[in-house]
Amino acid sequence: MKFRPPSVPLITVDPYFSVWSSADRLYDRFTEHWTASPNTINGSVFVDGKEYRFMGEGETEVIPQVQLDVSSLVTEYKFSNDVIDLKLTFYTPLFAEDLYLLSRPVSYLSVCYSLHGKNEADVKIRIDVSEEICINKKNEKAVSAEISTAEGLNFAKIGSKEQSILSCSGDDLRIDWGYFYLTASDKSQMSVVNYDDMTFLRCELALEENLDNFILFSYDDVYSINYFGDFIEAYWKKKNKAIETVIAEAYSEASEMLNRCVLYSDKLRVEAEKAGGDKYADILALAYRQVIAAHKLCVDNEGNNVFISKECFSNGCAATVDVTYPSSPFFLLYNTELLKAMLRPIFKFASSDEWQFDFAPHDVGQYPLVLGQVYGKNHEADGRYRDFQMPVEECGNMLIMMANIAFAEKNTEFFDAYEDTLKGWVKYLEEYGMDPEHQLCTDDFAGHLAHNCNLSLKAIMGIAGYSEMLKMKGKCDEAAYWFSVAESMADNWCKTAANDDGSFRLTFDRPDTFSMKYNMVWDKIWNTGLFAPSVYYSEFRSNCKHINAYGMPLDNRKDYTKSDWLVWTACFAPSKEEFEEFVLPLWNCYNVTPSRVPLTDWYDTVTSLVVGFRHRSVQGGLFIKLLDGEYLRRG
C-alpha cells in the first residue's frame, strides 16, 4: 500500500469500542483508543518456543513488518523473517445495509502463517488485552475477570466491579461499564495475567499452517444510551440472545465475514476509483469504518431505530445536526434508514416543551446522554443561550437532508411525519436566510460572521429542497411558491456575493474575500438550476488559485481547512482530472502528517498538522463524489 494512514483501524465498532495503531509498524507503539488514550493489546507469535513480537511495545525480538494494506472493512498486516511468514487480518463487518451486523459488537482477528525451510513446527499466537478496554484509564476502577467455556468456545471476560451504567458523559472519555470478551476455539488457552500494573486477558492459540485461525473481540455494554430518560439497548439485542450465543454465531461466520468484507471493500474501491481516482479511493477506504463507528445504533422504547453520533474530540455532543449533515452523503449512498435514525432524536426534542425556539436544535445531548441540547446550555442562566444557537445553519441542514432522503427513497413518507415542523423551519429561512445576521455556523472557527455567503447558500438550498418535497407530494402551487422564493434568493445572491474577478465573497459586505461555497453542491446534484453552471466553474477556478501544499483553506482568514468541505468543493470541477488534482493535497496531508490520529477533518493546509477533531463521522462527506451523478437527480 503506497498510502500511509495517519492511524490504522484495528477494532472499529462504536465510539467506545475502538482500537487503533498510530504507528507505521504495529510493534512500534502500544495500540490506543481513537482519543489516543491507551487501549493496550499486545501480540506475539511463538515458533518452537521462540517468541517474536508483532503488536505492542516491548523488549522481545520482533518479526519484521513487511506490508500494510487498509481497505474499507479490512486491515491486513504481513510480517516475515527467516523462519515464518505471518499474516494478521483485522476486520469488522460494518455493512451499512445490514443493521444487525453493523450493530453486532464483534470484531475479528484472522491469523495465518507459513513456514520457511522446514516441514513443520509448533506455532502458536498469544494475544493480551488490557483492562483499559473496559475502564476509562488503567487502575481508575477495580476490574474482575473470569474464564469460561460455552457454545464450544473459550471465553475470557473482563469488566469493572462497579457497574455505573450511563453515569457520565464527555468527549475524551472511555467506557467504564459493560463487559469485554476475548474468544477463540476450544483449542485455545485463556488466562488472566498481571503486568505493567494492569490486568490482562490472555489468549494462547495453537495455529494450523496455511489456514485462517480466528480470535474475536466483543463488547456487551448492557445499555448503550440514556435516551430522554430511558436506558435503551443496542440494535443487536432485538434478537434477545445472550452475548455468548451472539459471539458463537459470529465465530461460526468468521470465514464468511472475512470473504464478504474483502468483496465489499473491493466493490467500494472500484466505485471510488471510477468516480474520483485511486487516491480518492485510498481516502474513502480509510474513512469508511470511522464514519460508522462514530455512532451507536439503538432501538428506542417505541421500537424506532436511533443512530446516535458522537462529536469526537470536539465537545462530545450527541446527534449534532451540523455533524450529521456533512456525514449524510455516506448514508444516502448506503442506507437511508441510518440517516433517518440520526434525525429522529432531533425531531423528538424539537417537538418537546423544552425546545422553545422556532428553528432547529443544534444537538440533543452529550454522548451517551441524549437528554436535550447541551451546546450553549451553560449560558442559559445569564440569558445568552440563544447566542449559541445556529438557526439558519441547522434549519438548512435539516431541510436539505430531508429532501435528500425523499429523493433517494423516491417518496415523502419520512417528510410527511414531520411536515408541520419543517414548515416552521422553512419560514425561518425565508425570513432570515438571504442575509444571515451575526450568528453561529458550523465553520466559525475563526470567529462568528454576519452576512455569511455560504450560510445563505444553505438557506437557499434548504428552501429549494422543501419545494421539491412538496412537488413530490403533488402540492404544486405551494411547491411553486417556495421554489420562486429560492430562485429570487439565488438571483440576489449572485449579484450581491460577487467579486469583480468572477469569484464570490466570504461575506456580502467584504469584497475580495473568498470561502468554500460547498452548500451550492446540492443545486448541481439535484439539477435544480438555481445557479448557472458558469457560477460553479468560475468559483472553482478561483478556488484553485488559493490551494496550499495540503489543500484549499476554508476561507481567507486562516490557513486551515475542512476535509469534508474540500471534497464537496472539488465536486464543482468540470472534469474528473481536475477533481483528482483538487483532492490530491488532501491525500498528501494524510500521507505525511506527523499528527498520527484517526482521520482528522480540521487541519492546517501549510503544515499538514491537525488543528482539532479526529475520528469524526463528518468524514462521510468525503463520499459525496459518488453522489455527484444521477443518484439524487430529479427527473
Residue 40: give its domain's CATH number: 2.70.98
Confidence band of 630 (pLDDT split at 50, 70, 90) = low
Pinpoint the alpha helices (H) of 204-253: 243-252
Cis peptide bond upstream of 368, omega within 30: yes
Q: Is residue 369 part of a domain?
A: no
Instruction: State how far the alpha carbon of 222 is from the alpha carbons of 107, 236, 532, 546, in Å.
Output: 17, 11, 53, 50
CATH number assigned to the domain comprising residue 507: 1.50.10.10
Q: Is residue 92 part of a domain?
A: yes
| Span 106-118, average pLDDT | 94
Diameter over CA atoms, the chain: 81
How does pLDDT run across 376-404, given as a tens digit for each residue?
887 777 777 777 789 999 999 999 999 99
The three cell numbers of residue 93 are 463487518
Q: By C-alpha distance, which of 289, 35, 36, 290 is closest to 171?
A: 35
| Span 239-254, average pLDDT | 96
Instruction: State how far the alpha carbon of 150 is from the alpha carbons of 203, 216, 245, in Å.
Output: 16, 14, 8
The whole-angstrom separation of Cα 73 and Cα 93 is 7
pLDDT of 629 over the 70 cut: no
Domain boundary among 171, 200, 223: 223
Domain boundary among 223, 243, 265: 223
**Looking up cell 430511558, which residue turns up?**
230
Confidence band of 634 (pLDDT split at 50, 70, 90) = low
Q: By C-alpha distance, which of 86, 108, 83, 100 is closest to 12?
A: 108
Helix (H, G, I), strand (E, B) or coil at 342: helix
Q: Is residue 468 part of a domain?
A: yes
How does pLDDT run across 266-304, given as a tens digit for each residue?
999 999 999 999 999 999 999 999 999 999 999 999 999
Q: Which amino acid is residue 255, in one-letter code?
A: S
Q: Is residue 327 part of a domain?
A: no
Q: By C-alpha distance, which of 46, 3, 4, 39 is closest to 20?
A: 39
The whole-angstrom separation of Cα 616 and Cα 597 is 11
Domain boundary among 206, 223, 240: 223
Confidence band of 633 (pLDDT split at 50, 70, 90) = low
Confidence band of 34 (pLDDT split at 50, 70, 90) = very high
| Span 144-149, average pLDDT | 98
Looking at residue 379, what is its pLDDT? 73
Pinpoint the alpha helices (H) of 218-335: 243-252, 254-276, 278-293, 321-334
The whole-angstrom separation of Cα 366 and Cα 171 is 8
Q: Is residue 334 part of a domain?
A: no
The answer to whether 382 touches 395, Cβ cutoff 8 Å, is no
pTM: 0.97
Q: What is the DSSP letter of 386?
A: G
| Span 38-50, average pLDDT | 97
| Span 204-217, average pLDDT | 96
Write b or e for each residue in 596-616: b if 16 or more Cβ atoms lie within 10 A of its Cβ, otherwise e: bbbbbbbbbbebbebbebbbb
The percentage of residues in the chain with a pLDDT greater than 70, rounded to a whole number, is 99
Q: Is residue 308 part of a domain?
A: no
Looking at residue 225, what is its pLDDT? 98
pLDDT of 582 over the 80 cut: yes
Residue 66's domain comprises: 8-223
| Span 509-538, average pLDDT | 96
| Span 591-617, average pLDDT | 97
pLDDT of 586 over the 50 cut: yes
How does pLDDT run across 184-200, given as a tens digit for each residue?
999 999 999 999 999 99
Q: If you write DSSP's letter for every residue of 475-488 in order, what string do you get?
A: -HHHHHHHHHHHHH
Q: What are phi and psi of 354, to 5 degrees?
A: -70, -30
| Span 52-69, average pLDDT | 98
Confidence band of 448 (pLDDT split at 50, 70, 90) = confident
pLDDT of 587 over the 60 cut: yes
Q: In the chain, how many domains are there?
A: 2
Q: Is residue 75 part of a domain?
A: yes
The whole-angstrom separation of Cα 19 and Cα 224 is 18
In whole numbers, what is the pLDDT of the chain averaged over residues?
Answer: 96
| Span 350-370, average pLDDT | 96
Looking at residue 635, what is its pLDDT? 43
Q: Out of 15-19, 47-51, 95-99, 115-119, which region has the weakest mean confidence (pLDDT)?
A: 115-119
CB count within 10 Å of CB 228 equals: 19
Q: Is residue 165 part of a domain?
A: yes
